[in-house]
Amino acid sequence: MAKVSATEMSAFERKRLENIAANQAMIKDLSTTAEKMAPKPVAKTKKTATPRKRATPIKRETPIPTRTSSRLAGVEADSETAKRKAEVEHEFAKEQAKAKKQRVTGDLTFSDMTVEGKKFNKDENFLSGVMRGAQPYVRTFDEDDVKETTDEDLKALREKMSGLELYEGYEPNHTARSNRWR
């Protein structure tokens, strides 16, 4: 289409061209402000290949079979001695378990009542201390008892208990207790 000169254009055509020019100017203005407001794209960082760490090799033990061959172990298939030995061990274990659970009636012997790691003196009042428990504000054992203890766990526990100390504000005496409760 050929360009029409300004003299030949009607008023409608002039108005149309002015609107087109105004719209294009408005679009150009909007695009420049949008470019200013839009965040700039972040420069992509080059991905550097990180060297992979090799996993430390796990030393695996050869699995032990859950069942082993009696023939390879050198045991006869129907060995009467092996059967009898297993039966005797089984019966003995049953009797031991039953004896532990059974209630004891009648008189008790002193050897049945001894505690591991401590030998009681055999005077007439040796059980009275055991029955009544610990006396308040009195040590239940001293350094000699710790040295004489044969049971290692009990000895370690007694040494640990001997090393403990009370805070000064909580000394175990009667005045502190009586004042505390008032």
CB-count exposure of residue 78 (10 Å: 0-12, 13-18, 19+)? exposed
State the 10-residue block means of pLDDT for the chain, 182 residues long: 66 95 95 84 76 82 77 73 84 86 76 58 60 68 85 89 76 52 48
In a domain, 142, yes or no: yes
Residue the block writes with tokens 């996993």: 55
Is 29 part of a structural domain of the chain? no
> Per the domain annotation, does 35 fall within a domain?
no
Q: Which pLDDT does position 14 carry in this prediction? A: 93
For residue 126, give its domain range. 114-165
In a domain, 8, yes or no: no
* 48: in domain: no
> Is 4 within 8 Å of 13 (Cβ atoms)?
yes
Q: Does some domain include residue 102?
A: no
pLDDT in the model for residue 21:
97
| 97 domain residue, yes or no | no
Phi and psi based region of residue 80 (left: phi greater than 0; alpha: psi -120 to 50; beta: remaining)? alpha
139 in a structural domain: yes
How far apart are the C-alpha atoms of 110 and 120, rounded to whole Å?
Answer: 10
**Report field, pTM of the whole predicted structure over 0.85:** no
Which residue type occupies 168? E
Residue 109: both structure tokens together: 């012997």
Overall domain count for the chain: 1
